[in-house]
Chains A and B, each alone.
Chain A
């Protein structure tokens, strides 16, 4: 039998499929089976605390999610979060990438330092900022107080809108380095001759930026926008570590987690996950389309 199998493997295609089998099995078991299972859950009246009363209830979970005001407010919240995060991350990353693209002493060290926030685990990032923004002994208050900007310590995380913006800030702090690296890669691929020719033709730094740098960055910029939108939508750990289930920073992902695991409502939670999934699928579709077009170019 082994001999036959060995012969069968002589075919390159058979060999390729055989090599792929372990990875396929793992992906199926760890990603697709749970996804299929939760799709099934989304049509069930399934509360883990009432295992004897699980039954089919059609689209009722989807209807319940769409009519849930908490879900609606969490969507609006995350849209705001994504908007400010996208704009600020793009502008900051571009600025930092432009600086790092120039030759100056210590550039290597600075590039390494810039990437550090990206390397910090999200939960650590959340706890770090929770400590910094603490109203009783936080470093942020200390700094503002020492500079004379505030007269007394402020309870930043207790103000819902401020807390949401600070949550966005922690996201910006962590994702800016990643986008900076993407931008830097493209900036370094622009031939120096182009800038040289522009200078000969009388273009100043601003003209060079708008007529050479920006057009070269357009494609990666679009990809960066989609990536930030996806990361912004699915961000969980940082915000959870910073604010827990506080309503002021409750995004659809956090609410989904709360409904499913805190409340044990696996049916409604699964339906919510699929509604979130559709939105993410659309974003991922644009991302893949842009990536493929870029490869083509």
Chain B
């Protein structure tokens, strides 16, 4: 027994020394860890290819967005490395950058890399860039042409949100769809309607404007809850706000979607409504916002160069087209976007190009945006359940944002 303990102690010391020595090296890593959302992960074949080319094995940890955020924030508090490369959803850029978990990339990533992709500006916080765009994701609305044809309406007939409601009501009344509008009872649906009605939600000083009854943001909030109460939106969209499956299953006619979503909606293997899905140019003022994602490098990684190499790989044509084909995520790579567009390989390219003229940013690069975004969803849920009157929910949300902003100033 004694001998065993002695051997164990000596072995522990040896292993400890080995780890200590390993920590000092900054060469080609045996392994990189990439923490990603499911839709930001490349296929195993592509990862194997990267390993064959560079000798770097990449281990992908796939998480839902919230657990990913929590892990990154916990690591930031502990000042440890959550992963070498971090998937950065636009909702998180402000929080991650403020928490100091992401490296500033302006000096480390070549300008040509940033120039090769769309959307660098979305990942800038106080003038510094913290992620390289991975995909573009303008928020759009899809509709089912075949279902609309049953009531003799075309997408281009919808010019206002009033028209939209009228058509949805007709679809419901005529039994085409029980719940024709698949919009989650969550912030995104509200932003979508508010922006396209012409609201910016906040003024230049980031003070809320949506709590004034004359602001279209106020009208959008009220209208969304009204649709829910009229049964145009399924009550299930409160507890399961993901709007996509109901549309792909042919249960809904309109769908809060994203740029590139037709890749899935018109794929007969993945969607029952294929090939009848099309984009709808957003009604009224047409404005929308973007939900892109990027790749950041952890402040605490020992391998920033290898991480950068992996990011370059992720925005290469091969990986970008794979992400578009498998996940419907629109390529951030400019050359690929143009080539696919010219070759007519992007379903709904014209509508997408038209919609892209009406893009305005939400304040995601502020430290308070993620909290505001969560509270906006809570406010909508409370109003939908009748726990709070719509006007009170809007006023309370505006007050919440003012306090948040004040706290972070």
Contact = CB atoms under 8 A, between A and B. Distances in A.
Interface of A: 2, 5-6, 9-10, 15, 18-19, 47-51, 130, 134-136, 155, 157-158, 160, 163, 243-247, 257, 261-264, 266
A158 B99 CA distance: 35
Q: Is the interface of A mostly helix, strand, loop or mixed?
A: helix
B172 to A, nearest CB: 15
Report the contact-size class of chain B (Cβ under 8 Å from the partner).
35 or more
A211 to B, nearest CB: 48
Interface of B: 1-2, 5-6, 66, 69-70, 73-74, 76-77, 94-95, 98-100, 234-236, 238-240, 246, 251, 367, 370-371, 374, 378, 381-382, 385, 387, 407-408
A50 B239 contact: no
Contacts, number: 82
14 contacts: A48-B77, A49-B99, A49-B367, A49-B408, A50-B367, A50-B408, A51-B98, A51-B99, A134-B236, A157-B239, A158-B385, A245-B374, A261-B70, A263-B371
Nearest to A41: B77
B408 A264 contact: no
B235 A49 contact: no
Contact of A243 (B73, B100, B239): B239
B73 A264 contact: yes
Nearest to B5: A18
A130 B242 CA distance: 14
B408 A134 contact: no
Nearest to A155: B235
Given A49-B98, A247-B378, A135 B235 contact: yes
B99 A2 contact: no
Contact of A155 (B66, B76, B239): B239
A257 B99 CA distance: 17
A160 B385 contact: yes
A158 B235 contact: yes
Contact of B239 (A18, A158, A264): A158
A245 B65 CA distance: 14
Nearest to A133: B239
Contact of B74 (A6, A18, A245, A261): A261
Given A157-B240, A246-B381, 18 more contacts: A2-B6, A6-B6, A47-B407, A49-B94, A51-B99, A51-B100, A134-B240, A135-B234, A135-B236, A135-B239, A136-B246, A157-B238, A245-B374, A247-B378, A247-B381, A261-B73, A262-B69, A264-B95
A257 B234 CA distance: 29
Contacts of A266: 77
Contact of B76 (A48, A134, A160): A48
B251 A136 contact: yes
A264 B99 contact: yes
Closest 5 CB pairs of A and B: A155-B235, A261-B70, A157-B239, A49-B98, A49-B367
